Amino acid sequence: MLTRKQHELICFIEDRLADTGVSPSFEEMKDALELKSKSGVHRLISALEERGYLRRLPNRARALEVLKAPERGAEAKKAAPPSIKRAMPEPANDVVEIPLHGRIAAGVPIEAFEGSTMLPVPAALLGSGEHFALEVAGDSMVEAGIFDGDYALIRRQEVARDGEIVVALIEDSEATLKYFRHEGAMIRLDPANRAYDPQRYAPAQVRVQGKLAGLLRRYS
């Protein structure tokens, strides 16, 4: 049985495909279901895929295929009511896909956002807001437990407080993962490795792209 939000989403997608032949965007789905972020849309789509209602078509943006039509009318009322749904937390093993933008230097800055694919991430690792992932390259954050080859899960935001680990875009071309701090009129980006020196920039040279929200690590 589908939850009410799952049912609303599959109906919305089916209706849009019937009207235009094109899948709705994640932003349109978020607005239609009155969700706070697109992460919620990812969770619902993954759940509908698991239940055999939807299929994502590979190598095509915004390409969804309805495999099983939802029940309409009286049958739709059998979806879990809001009072029950609120009492049931999302399953801990839910997986969402977030953009993987490439490699980011944890040592000296390297060119950021080399490409974009999707990375499956346990939903429990993400909070509210929009997220993306970057693969860590380098060892300057090892004392913060961030190692070469880790995936940094980043909550997209443009401001940061002193002491937070952020993705900082330097002169709109290079990015690095560092502790963010103010130092007088300058911005200081601190490594977590005593072998590296802090980096100092004028505020106009640095734009915060997001704050570290979590890490994924592969073991081979």
What confidence score (pLDDT) does residue 1 get?
Answer: 66
Torsion of CA 78, 80, 84, 86, to 10 degrees: -150
Output the CA–CA distances (angstroms, integers) from residue 109 to 1, 149, 171, 189, 205, in the order listed.
Answer: 49, 16, 11, 11, 13
| Average pLDDT of the segment spanning 2-13 | 86
73 plus 120 within the same structural domain: no
Looking at every residue in the chain, the average pLDDT score rounds to 80
Query: Same domain, yes or no, for 104 and 193?
Result: yes
pLDDT greater than 90 at residue 74: no
Q: Which of 12-21, 75-84, 177-186 has the lowest mean pLDDT?
A: 75-84
54 and 16 both lie in a single domain: yes
* 71 and 113 part of one domain: no
**Residue 156 belongs to a domain with what CATH number?**
2.10.109.10
Burial of 132 (0-12, 13-18, 19+ CB in 10 A): buried
Question: Does residue 23 have an active-site annotation?
Answer: no
Where among 87, 119, 151 does a domain terminate? 87
What is the arithmetic mean of pLDDT over 192-201? Answer: 93
The 10 Å CB-count burial string (b at 16+, else e) for 168-190 is: bbbeeeebbbbbbbeeeeebbbb
pLDDT score of 77: 45
Catalytically annotated residue among 116, 178, 211, 220: 178
Question: Is the pLDDT assigned to residue 82 strictly greater than 70?
Answer: no
Residues 121 and 82 in one domain: no
In the numeric block, the tokens 């919620």 are attached to: 40
pLDDT at 52 over 80: yes
Q: What is the CATH number of the domain that holds 46?
A: 1.10.10.10
Q: Select which of 128, 140, 173, 220 is catalytic.
A: 140
**Is residue 131 domain-shared with residue 173, that is, in the same domain?**
yes
- Domain boundary residue among 87, 117, 146? 87
Q: What is the pLDDT of residues 145-193, one digit of tens each?
A: 999 989 999 999 999 999 999 999 888 878 899 999 999 999 999 999 9
> Of the residues 87, 121, 145, which one is the last residue of a structural domain?
87
Domain check: are 186 and 104 in the same one?
yes
30 is catalytic: no
Look at residue 163 in the predicted model and tell me its pLDDT: 94
- Hey, is 96 helix, strand or coil? strand
Domain that holds residue 11: 4-87
Both 212 and 187 in one domain: the answer is yes
Lowest mean pLDDT among 46-55, 108-117, 173-182, 192-201: 108-117
Q: How many structural domains are present in the chain?
A: 2
Planar angle of CA 118, 119, 124, nearest 5 degrees: 130
Same domain flag for 72 and 105: no
Question: What confidence score (pLDDT) does residue 33 get?
Answer: 87
Residues 81 and 104 in one domain: no
Q: Smallest Cα–Cα separation from 146: which of 196, 181, 96, 98?
A: 196
Q: Is the pLDDT of residue 16 over 70?
A: yes
pLDDT of residue 195 exceeding 60: yes
pLDDT at position 89, please?
A: 42
Whether residues 17 and 118 share a domain: the answer is no
Q: Do residues 107 and 204 share a domain?
A: yes
Q: How confident is the model at residue 30 (pLDDT cuts 50, 70, 90)?
A: confident
| pLDDT value for 167 | 93
Give pTM, 2 decimals: 0.56
